[in-house]
């Protein structure tokens, strides 16, 4: 049998179109998440305002980019502890409703979309839609990047109500471990 270019291209196209060989596009299509349970542990700890519980899930040399690039990265576990402790004092206990709407995993990275929602001790309600990624080293987060619109955060912290557009973005089903 002689294989010419046309036959080879046709065969490659048929293989690429095969659902059995296509890589999953979203975490919903994978059999078992490996990284998402770590994020779930972080969320559970932070909802309890347990700073040490969050820090148990990160490396000593964590790089936390939690300001969408408008402030320097928080580097190291000690600096992250200070930042989380400051945040904890500003958030009303029991008000944290941080949740994830969707995620996808690669070999050592977890991509996520969600909302950081809470009440400040001063009474303002804050709901910030965001996307982010966690880079893992083993089972610990070594780099954490968050992307959000800082104007929404600032306006809500100053007492502005949630807009209809933000409310629509947040009215979605939650992601689940599969």
- Which two three-digit tokens encode residue 111? 């991509």
Task: Check if the beta carbon of residue 80 is closer than 8 Å to that of residue 55.
Answer: yes
CA 141 – CA 109 distance, rounded (Å): 9
pLDDT at residue 57 tops 90: yes
Which DSSP symbol is given to 174?
P
- What is the secondary structure of 45-97 as a DSSP string? HHHTT-HHHHHTTEEEEEEEE-STTSSPPEESHHHHHHHHHHHHHHBPTT---
Query: What are the tens digits of pLDDT across the range 58-94?
Result: 999 999 998 877 789 999 999 999 999 999 999 999 9
pLDDT at residue 54 tops 50: yes
pLDDT at residue 31 tops 90: no
The confidence band for 10, taking pLDDT boundaries of 50, 70 and 90, is low
Task: Check if the beta carbon of residue 132 is closer than 8 Å to that of residue 115.
Answer: no
Residue the block writes with tokens 């989380």: 84
CA 103 – CA 40 distance, rounded (Å): 12
CA 122 – CA 157 distance, rounded (Å): 9
Check: pTM over 0.75? Answer yes or no: yes
CA nearest 126: which of 86, 83, 170, 85? 170
Mean pLDDT of 26-34: 58
């Amino acid at each position: 049998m002689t294989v010419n270019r046309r036959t080879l291209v046709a065969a490659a196209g048929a293989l690429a179109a095969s659902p059995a060989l296509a890589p999953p596009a979203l975490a919903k299509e994978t059999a078992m998440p490996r990284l998402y349970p770590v994020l779930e542990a972080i969320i559970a700890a932070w909802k309890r305002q347990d700073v040490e519980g969050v820090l148990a899930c990160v490396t000593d040399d964590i790089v936390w980019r939690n300001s969408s690039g408008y402030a320097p990265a928080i580097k190291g576990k000690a600096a992250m502890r200070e930042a989380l402790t400051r945040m904890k004092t500003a958030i009303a206990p029991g008000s944290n409703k941080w949740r994830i709407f969707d995620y996808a995993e690669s070999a050592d990275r977890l991509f996520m979309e969600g909302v950081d929602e809470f009440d400040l001790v001063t009474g303002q309600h804050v709901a910030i839609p965001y996307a982010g990624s966690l880079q893992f080293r083993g089972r610990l987060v070594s780099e954490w990047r968050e992307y959000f619109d800082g104007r929404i955060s600032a306006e809500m912290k100053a007492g502005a109500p949630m807009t209809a557009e933000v409310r629509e973005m947040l009215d979605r089903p939650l992601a689940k471990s599969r």
